[in-house]
Structure 1
Amino acid sequence: MARKKANNRMLVILLALIAVVCIALWYADKVEREGKAAAAAEQPADEAAEAAAATLAGEGAEAPDFTVEMIDGSKVALSELRGKVVLLNFWATWCPPCREELSHVQQQVIDRFAGEEFVFLPISRGEERAAVEAFRAKTGYAFPMGLDTDETIYKRYATRFIPRNFLIDRTGRVVKATVGYDDEEFAELLCAAAAEIQQK
């Protein structure tokens, strides 16, 4: 009889321990999941804040003037493009989102705005001419590209991150600035460009 009571007591203790362990594991998992969810929720805000802090020519600012050497040896000054809508793009051959963005340019930008008072001006950041020429040969891109080998131009607009786009209106002001590549955001950028073109 005493042995049976002892066995029952041990069983109760064992079940209680199992219950405690299960509750502890459930709580630890709950805390971990909530922590991950909170981190995921905060990450976009953190990234947006970092991008904003690294942007020197924000929306509403006058676009800093520059003269860029193009891949064909010609030179283009931003001030000479006044009266046209300009989409200034900073990119690099080694940057995956930059390459993804450029793959949509011919159809969604060049062809779409052909004949309009619009200039797409992609500038390679921090790369030598040979690297850009090799990239063009590999991809078959024929649209003009600028070279910012020492990042002098880029540093007037931002301190970090590519790809970057600055939509500049006919008066030389930045009306929209984006960082990184996202299909939806890129579509919104082009809609903004179309709206600016219509404002003659």
Structure 2
Amino acid sequence: MHASVPKLTLDEKAALVSGASFWRTQAVPHAGVAAATLTDGPHGVRMQRASADHLGINDSEPATSFPTAAATGSTWDPALVEEMGRALGAEALALGVDVLLGPGINMKRSPLCGRNFEYFSEDPVLSGALGTAWVSGIQSKGVGASLKHFAANIRKPTECELTFRSTNVLSGRYTCPRSNRQSRSVSRHSHVLVQQGQRGSE
């Protein structure tokens, strides 16, 4: 447990997870907790200083647009992905970003998933290796990484089913893994990242 936690009231703890603004956390000065700036994303620092939105419609600060995880995953090259992570970390630092929301580490389970471009692979070993490299690169610059879209992140609590959409046009359903072997495969990359990547947050 972090040394600041016992100093926080229940309301202050709740404020930490609700945020002070769209991309900024709440500061708690008496406990030594500074506000942090977070922003997307895995393929380029999308820092919005004025009107913020989660879709990236409003203006952002100029930044490099890096290849998507679908492209970098095809390289099978952790050293290259780590180099990209270092570049992302340097840009994030220059823009005053404390935590970059990425990498996207979900498994590609269906071609209908509208976010497949954000994920490295359908293979958990490759995704774990590349995700670890990305995290190591960005955090080498002092910028935190926040893993995105854990396995079954859109799973409904009352049924074993996942629903996905692609720009509200294509939609479909598939059943989540039922065997222990499949479940281990889905979560293996997350385990690799947590053990080796020393990510800043989850």
Give TM-score scaled by structure 2 length: 0.30
User: Relative to total residues, which structure has the larger helix share, 1 or 2?
Assistant: 1
Q: Which has the higher contact order (CA 8 A, sep 6+)?
A: 1
Q: Over alpha carbons, which structure has the higher Rg?
A: 1
User: Relative to total residues, which structure has the larger strand share, 1 or 2?
Assistant: 1
Give TM-score scaled by structure 1 length: 0.31
